[in-house]
Amino acid sequence: MKNRIEIIGVEHIPDISEGVELGEVIVDSLRKMGFELRDGDIIVISHIIVSKAEGRTVDLSSIKPSEFALKIAKESSKDPRYVELVLRESKRIVRMRRGLIISETVGGLVCANAGVDLSNAGIGRAALLPIDPDYSARKIREKIKKLIGVDVAVIISDTHGRPLRSGAVNIAIGCSGIEPLFDRRGEKDLYGRELTSKIICIADELASAAELVIGQADEGVPVAIIRGYRYQSSETPATVIPRREEDDLFL
Amino acid sequence: MKNRIEIIGVEHIPDISEGVELGEVIVDSLRKMGFELRDGDIIVISHIIVSKAEGRTVDLSSIKPSEFALKIAKESSKDPRYVELVLRESKRIVRMRRGLIISETVGGLVCANAGVDLSNAGIGRAALLPIDPDYSARKIREKIKKLIGVDVAVIISDTHGRPLRSGAVNIAIGCSGIEPLFDRRGEKDLYGRELTSKIICIADELASAAELVIGQADEGVPVAIIRGYRYQSSETPATVIPRREEDDLFL
């Protein structure tokens, strides 16, 4: 079958502590699985382990909430120290209702709670998004290349809610080695008609696909390999994906 | 490897004409491929062939644009007959700028151009969304069960742009046999902490995953099989996914 993709959950990933090289961890874990990476494989990594490796988790007891954070927390029965972190990670509040904060993060993502995560962050801790997920992805890609000589693409993912539709989906917040937006304009349809407005966010689709195995991340599968998808190599960062305010009809 | 998903593009799907039973077409095509469906497989079908099978394509030359359609078309250099169809398929305009129409369809989806598609619709024709994609999915699922006795889930997909992020992604507009929203609240994280707000739109993630092979739809691969993902059986329709206006911070 020529048109076949595999998605494999990477087993044996240990609990990640600060300073760990994720490229090494992934290579080790795959070795234990007896799985050999190939050129062209795509590695999707749940951001939580990137945040941990990069020391982007915070002990909530060290956070002193501001007056504003205390007020918001009270309305929403959230931990005021968590709200404080959300505000600190935000550069602009986009929407706010009943304690739900949709903001633009310092990194330029519009998402709920500035991506600050209490799940899997460690007891009494919160995980912030990696400072530069594209850089994180590149570092991991280069480490893997150095260790085993294989050219892969790396996507750092996070699960985000979205406007219009219920339920969160996994999206790409960082990438390296893959063009995140796949531009099919100019291609022809079945009847020879040129496709219109066919820019596909393949990085997000790959992140969503990976979640079919990463969905178990909370039981320790924070990394997936996608094999068989032919992508365009590139160093375009995932920061091209968030739309600018002036280009978005909903912002 | 216990945590492994396969996505297979279904070959040999012929050009679909009105009245064709898609369940039969899929079973035939899989037989030609030598591929045997199993209980638990998920079939993702690009809506375009559902629209065609259900006679939901329109000869543009039969459409007389209204004054309003002519005005919008002029601003955006679109075909006024196409704009007319978009308006007819809409029950509410949500956003409109430079000829881009985001509307709520008669079926309750908020999307660009009411889902009316000129690609792959046939020369001089436009494809409308299926009237009830959940019903379409159920019919196909039941036909497959009747023909070969296998219990599958069926998702009807379409590629939609979205707020906040560039690039379209494939989403689920109809489903049968699978719970579209996967509710993980109550599950525990690595450290025993209860997950918060973890409702995943697995139907959309499966649709996005399928596009890794359906992405070639325009060369005739409008159907994908996803194997290895354990889902919850259900007859919940995909109409639970679009958020109600009062629950959406962006509507």
In the stretch 202-221 of chain B, residues with CB closer than 8 A to chain A read 202, 204-206, 208-209, 211-213, 215-216, 218-221
Closest chain A residue by Cα to residue B162: A163
* Distance in angstroms (rounded) separating the CA atoms of residues B188 and B194: 4
Name which of A161, A166, A208 is nearest B208 (Cβ-Cβ): A208
> What per-residue confidence (pLDDT) applies to B219?
58
- The predicted model gives A59-77 an average pLDDT of 94
Smallest Cβ–Cβ distance between B211 and the set A120, A164, A205 belongs to A205
Coil, strand, or helix at residue A3?
coil
* Residues 6+ away with beta carbon under 8 Å from A220: A13, B190
A208: alpha, beta or left? (left if phi > 0; alpha if psi -120 to 50) = alpha
C-alpha–C-alpha distance, residues A191 and B121, integer Å: 8
Q: What is the pLDDT of residues B180-195, one digit of tens each?
A: 999 888 888 878 887 7
Residue B217 clears pLDDT 50, i.e. is over it? no
Chain A contact for B54, CB < 8 A?
no
pLDDT of residue A186: 79
Nearest to B250 among A164, A208, A229 (CB): A164
**Chain B contact for A190, CB < 8 A?**
yes
3-state secondary structure of B241: coil
Contact B45, B22 (CB under 8 A): yes
pLDDT at residue B184 in the model? 84
Average pLDDT over residues B77-103: 93
Residue A215 clears pLDDT 80, i.e. is over it: no
Tokens (6 digits) for B160 = 């939609």
For residue A49, what pLDDT is reported?
Answer: 95
Asked if residue B200 has pLDDT above 90, the reply is yes
pLDDT digits (tens, 9 = 90+) for A87-120: 999 999 999 988 789 999 999 999 999 999 998 8
Most B CBs within 10 A among A30, A60, A250, hence the mutation to make, goes to A250
A185 touching chain B per CB within 8 A: no
Model confidence at A75: pLDDT above 90: no
- Distance of CA B80 to CAs A158, B51, B63, Å? 41, 21, 9
Tokens matching residue B100: 């881009």
Beta-strand pair B153-160/B42-46: parallel
* The predicted structure's pLDDT at residue A208: 97
Contact criterion met (CB below 8 Å) for A204 and A172:
yes
Question: A110-112 and A100-105: which strand pairing?
Answer: antiparallel
With pLDDT > 70 as the criterion, what percentage of chain B qualifies? 96
Q: Best residue in B3, B44, B170 to probe A by mutation, most A CBs within 10 Å? A: B3
To the nearest whole angstrom, how far is the Cα of A92 from the nearest Cα of chain B? 14
State both tokens at B128.
């409308």
Residue B237 has pLDDT above 80, yes or no: yes
Count CB neighbours of A7 within 10 A. Answer: 29
Band (A219; pLDDT cuts 50, 70, 90): low
Domains identified in chain B and CATH numbers: 6-51+130-239 (3.30.1330.100), 58-126 (3.90.1660.10)
Tell me the chain A residues in contact with residue B219 when contact means C-beta distances shorter than 8 Å: 190
- pLDDT the model gives residue A251: 84
What lies within 8 Å, CB to CB, of B120 at 6+ separation is: A189, A190, A191, A193, B48, B127, B217, B218
> Which of A161, A201, A220 is closest, CB to CB, to B165?
A201
pTM over 0.80: yes
pLDDT above 90 (res A46): yes
Given this model, what pLDDT does residue A224 score?
Answer: 97
- Provide the pLDDT for residue A188: 82
Per-residue pLDDT tens digits for A131-176: 999 999 999 999 999 999 999 999 999 999 999 999 999 999 999 9
Residue pLDDT, tens place only, A220-246: 689 999 999 999 999 999 999 999 888
Helix-strand-coil split of chain B, %, nearest 5: 35, 25, 40
Inter-residue contact A234 to B241 (CB < 8 Å): no
Query: What is the Cα–Cα distance from B156 to B174, expressed in whole angstroms?
Result: 5
Average pLDDT, chain A: 93
B128 touches chain A (CB under 8 A): no
CB contact under 8 A, A9 and B15: no
pLDDT above 70 coverage of chain A, percent:
96
Q: What is the mean pLDDT of chain B?
A: 93
B-chain CB neighbours of A246 within 8 Å are: none
Contact B170, B211 (CB under 8 A): yes
